[in-house]
Structure 1
Amino acid sequence: MKKHDQDFIRRQNRLTVFEMIKNQHPISRAAIAKRTGMSPTTVSRIVTELTEQGYLFESDQVSEGVGRKSTLLDIVSASVLSIGVELDRGHMNVGIVDLQGNLLCGGKYPRDPDESPDKTIARISEAIDGLTKLQEIDRTRIVGIGVGLPGIVNNEKGIVMFSVQLGWKNVALADRLKELTGYEVAVDNELKVKALAEHLKGVAIGSSRTALLGFGNGVGSALILEGEIYRGETNSAGEIGHTTVDPNGMMCECGKTGCLQTYINIGSLLSEANRIRPIRTIEELFEARRSGEQWAVQLIERALMYMAITVNNIVCMYNPDSVILSGELVDKIPEVYEEVEALCHSRFIWEPLRGSFAFHRSELNERGVVIGSGLLSQNRFFELS
């Protein structure tokens, strides 16, 4: 076997063992060997390396049966920290994440929708510097930065290929941010990292096939298969918001007509609402519906119908065991989740697939992208170690 193939297998084995300890701690060496199929010698070698590097510790011996004792392994949570960043049209969130995916601290910062990439990247660097100083964080423990944002991302090179919400195209985000901070930077689509966070820390723990849907300023989805992000050929898998539902429909920000998201996303709903009367926020629109204004009732019920249709389409395509609703619409408006779930169960899920999946509301909410981005950065660090 060629040396680079051997090195790749060693790195993968190391990452597999480390992820198992992170997600199933405390756990014994014997249990790791049994569940991974690796030899006890290989597992012991990897565990010794990780322990010497300060990532693991051994707990007291416990009985695993008559006459048998085994030492359990656990994670040193504070041994590694990473920065998680969420970028959106009107704000950015920055947080510090530990080895177990706990959000230690964070801050939310306004962002001008027309802000240039260079200015945004500079402000991310400033926010990180301010947060670490304010919280007195030991920066030598920070292994990197993860950034989640809406749009098409070349995750291997850290380039934002196209983001309608940010107005960015071909922005070398990872390289520019590394120049300012000195840290390695991982960049990915916001829903992909959010799905990863829900799988590791949220409602989808134990799921083998998780589909996450995001309804907010855009509409998108992400899929986690056996713990891995499903990316597609160009990391564009999940862009369901730009599937065409009516070729003669409304114009989308992407330049096409009739995209699914034009019937659901916050910007489109507010644009249509303002044809009737001034409506500034999505909360005001739902308040008009609660007050019985018929135009608002019809506009929102159409959006809820298309949300349920989106769930059905995802379920039919991927047959997940868990479906998670997330995004600003779900987080801000309490009734959205319940009404979409009811529509799915009563009308829109294809009958053979009814009851085949668990239906969840996002548990991590607005923390999800920051946590997922931080975990993505840590995964990149351990893959390269």
Structure 2
Amino acid sequence: MVKTADQNFVRKFNTALVLEMVRKEAPLSRASISAQTGLNRSTVSSIVQELLETGFLIETELQGDKVGRPGILLRLNPNGGAFLGIEINVDYLAGVLVDFSTKLLEKRFIPSDPTQGSEAILTAVQHMITDLVAQAEQRDLPVMGIGVGLPGVVDTNRGSLVYAPNLGWRDTPVRDMLQQLFNLPVLVDNEANCAVLGEYRFGISQDVSDVVYLSANVGLGGGILSDGKIFRGSSGFASEIGHAVIDPAGPACGCGRFGCWETFVGTRAVVDLVKKRLPGSGSSLVGKSSVDFADVLSAAQSGDALALDVLGEVGRFLGIGITNLVNIFNPRQVVLGGTLGKAAELLLPQISSTVFGESLLSTHADLRLDASALKEEACLLGAVSLVYDEVIRDPIGWIVKRQNSNHNRNED
């Protein structure tokens, strides 16, 4: 029995190794896989055959100038399955559908209002998922699962949103609700954790394994990657960096405390600061019936003095907080994402000046400060990765899980 269990574990590990290598470096030949993994050719051939039969891989011929039989190369099969990535944020909902080669097939975005309450927002999410699942079915793509990025404190083990101060939600069992509705595997995580994972898999952090990602929207979230893995802390709730206190006498925060970092750098803070300074400023924003972050950014890009001054101050506060993170975690890269990522060109000079001027030389010697490459898709593709990575780790086991889900759906 022990021997069989050991053999099953080794087979599972080797299958994941082969599939991950093809994912990263396709197209590859069986010989290349054998040489790079150290697995013997018969083992590679057996694993590849199973992955071909289950539809995860396809063969393509290399029609080069070589004499003799063309080489057979392997790549991921786009039709091997589909994945949904969903983001529930404070003021919007978004979703994507990707195929097994992670090609983006469909994208959805709708504005949202937290005052609608959780029931109305989750109903909108349900409609979005229903639409994306239908799009997958039209393409004859089996949906492997749904990944969801959530704002606030997320219990990934229970699949629930523990507390989201900017949404006003507490103890919301998002995973269980969606699994019951769709009979599909569902994985959830904090939206900033998803975003840093998205950049690591598909974006600007692919060559970096120690990253701090700032998701600056209405609030400020953080995702920290340490040695290629999400840093979660002892109880799984690490990286709530937006609630690090910058000034105990500062503005009130939605969490109930005062002077949290996000009250100085979130988009709400930007707009509030502009409104406070508008009277008598001579700004191009004067006279607008309402001002939002897009207005401020547009004005700053046009050279508006007030908008530039406010973004400069926000950049300084971002730099102060990032300096602390750099001194504590010593990352190789800090990525500015979320809505404030759209203003990266204006913010990064001030951030850079503060961070490199105030952090310890030993912690910033090889530091990179970058804007998100994936922008609004970072969290969505990271949410996809929650499920995709699990499939890669155990593709055959995931097929069984998917078949069980389909069986349950048919019974319903």
Deviation per CA, 1:300-347, whole angstroms, max 9, x where unpaired?
3331112122332332223233322211012256422344335444x2
SS in 2 for 1:205: coil
Task: Name whichever of 365-374 and 10-19 sits farther off.
Answer: 10-19
Tell me by how many angstroms 1:86 deviates: 1.0
Given that 1:217 and 1:265 are in contact with CA atoms closer than 8 Å, whether structure 2 keeps it comes out as: yes
Residue correspondence of structure 1 range 48-87 to structure 2 within 5 A: 48-60=49-61, 71-87=72-88
Say whether 1:367 aligns with 2:377: yes
Q: Does 1:282 align with 2:293?
A: yes
Task: Name the Cα RMSD after superposition.
Answer: 3.1
Amino acid at match of 1:379: D
List aligned pairs for 1:101-250, cutoff 5 A.
101-133=102-134, 137-138=138-139, 141-250=142-251
Partner of 2:405: none
Query: Is the 2:312–2:347 contact (alpha carbons within 8 Å) kept by the matching residues of 1?
Result: no
Tell me how far apart the structure 1 counterparts of residues 339 and 197 of structure 2 sit (CA, whole Å).
Answer: 18
Larger displacement relative to structure 2 (140-149 or 315-324): 315-324
Equivalent residue for 2:360, pick from 335, 342, 350: 350
Q: What's the secondary structure of 2:370's corresponding residue?
A: strand
Q: Secondary structure at the match of 2:239?
A: coil
1:303 pairs with 2:317:
no
Output the amino acid matched with 2:384: G
- The worse-fitting range, judged by mean Cα deviation, of 74-83 and 213-222 is 213-222
* Pair member with larger Rg: 2
Distance, in Å, in 2 between the alignment partners of 1:230 and 1:33 is 33
* SS of equivalent to 1:275: helix
Q: Distance in 1 between matches of 2:358 and 2:375?
A: 25
Displacement after TM superposition at 1:258 (Å):
2.0
Partner-residue secondary structure (3-state), 1:162: strand
Tell me, in whole angstroms, the C-alpha distance in 2 between the residues paired with 1:214 and 1:251: 20
Match of 1:17 in 2: 18
The worse-fitting range, judged by mean Cα deviation, of 41-50 and 246-255 is 41-50
Corresponding position of 1:326: 337
Q: Does the aligned pair in 2 maintain the 1:92–1:109 contact within 8 Å? A: yes
Cα 1:235–1:5 change in 2 (3 A) is farther
Aligned residue for 1:187, secondary structure, equals: strand
TM-score by length of 1: 0.86
Aligned partner of residue 256 in structure 1, secondary structure: coil
Aligned-partner residue type, residue 352 of structure 1 = S
- Match for residue 305 of structure 2 among 266, 280, 292: 292
Once the two structures are TM-superposed, the CA of residue 172 in structure 1 deviates from its matched residue by: 0.8
Checking the alignment, whether the CA contact within 8 Å between 1:144 and 1:381 is kept in structure 2 is no
The equivalent of 1:336 in structure 2 is 347
Amino acid at match of 2:336: L
Answer whether contact 2:316 2:350 (CA < 8 A) is retained.
no
Q: Do structure 1's residue 314 and structure 2's residue 325 form an aligned pair? A: yes
Quote the residue 2:271 is aligned against. Answer: 270
Deviates more, 1:279-288 or 1:209-218: 279-288
TM-score (normalizing by structure 2): 0.81
Bigger mean CA deviation after superposition, 181-190 or 264-273: 264-273
Contact 2:93 2:110 in 1 (8 A): yes
CA distance in 2, matches of 1:3, 1:135: 37
Contact 2:81–2:141 (CA under 8 A) maintained in structure 1 = no
Provide the secondary structure at the position in 2 that maps to 1:274.
helix
CA shift for structure 1 position 135: 7.5
Aligned amino acid, residue 56 of structure 2:
Y
Give the counterpart letter for 2:351 in structure 1.
Answer: V
Asked if structure 2 preserves the Cα contact closer than 8 Å seen for 1:96 and 1:105, the reply is yes
Give 3-state SS (helix, strand or coil) of 1:86's partner: strand
Contact 2:344–2:371 (CA<8 Å) still a contact in 1?
no
Unaligned runs of 5+ in 2: 279-288, 399-412
Q: Is the 8 A contact 1:62 1:71 kept in 2?
A: no
Give the equivalent residue in structure 1 for 2:286: none
Q: Separation in 2 of the partners of 1:319 and 1:44?
A: 43
* SS across alignment from 2:167: coil
SS of equivalent residue, structure 2 residue 305: coil
How many Å apart are 1:42 and its aligned residue?
A: 4.6
Write the distance in 2 (CA, Å) between the matches of 1:377 and 1:308.
Answer: 34
Aligned residues: 381
